[in-house]
Amino acid sequence: MAKKEVKQVQLQSAHLLDVASFQGTTVGILIEVFRRNVNPINPFSGRESALHVTITNQGDKEIENAIVEAKCSDNLQLVDSGALFGSSRRHVRLPILKSRKSIKYKLALRPAQSLTSGSIVFELKSADWKSSDQLHVVTLGVSRQD
């Protein structure tokens, strides 16, 4: 019996730029989803889309003691590039982000075969429980490319 080859789900490119007030300064969040170059030698090519998140301190005051968290809808997974398993949630503590400096996080996004559309919610929040009002939420919608 011949093995049926399952075609990998591809995501459409998407990007979002959001600017907000956070910790008394201005922060810019750029989120990009895009296809990587398909390399026939790489066994992971075509299985994932790149996900880049760039956080920029556009103001004059440092951003400190902050966390960025990403949560995916049920039909998406955040993975390290080429990893076998992923999760629907990732978080990382930001280093002190000085004025006019930025940091970029690179992950991969793996869609389920059933995906038609989904979303990724990004939360930038203060790690100090006393500053729970310091929260900025951005949502990026992604969809299947046929």
Task: For the chain, list the domains and their CATH numbers.
Answer: 10-145 (2.60.40.10)
To the nearest 10°, the Cα dihedral for 35, 70, 113, 17? -40
d(CA 131, CA 84): 37
Q: Which helix (H) or strand (E) holds 50?
A: strand 49-57
Structure tokens at 88: 């629907």
pLDDT in tens, the chain (146 residues): 555 556 677 889 999 999 999 999 999 999 999 876 555 555 555 667 889 999 999 999 999 999 999 999 999 999 886 666 778 899 999 999 999 999 999 988 888 888 899 999 999 999 887 766 688 999 999 998 87
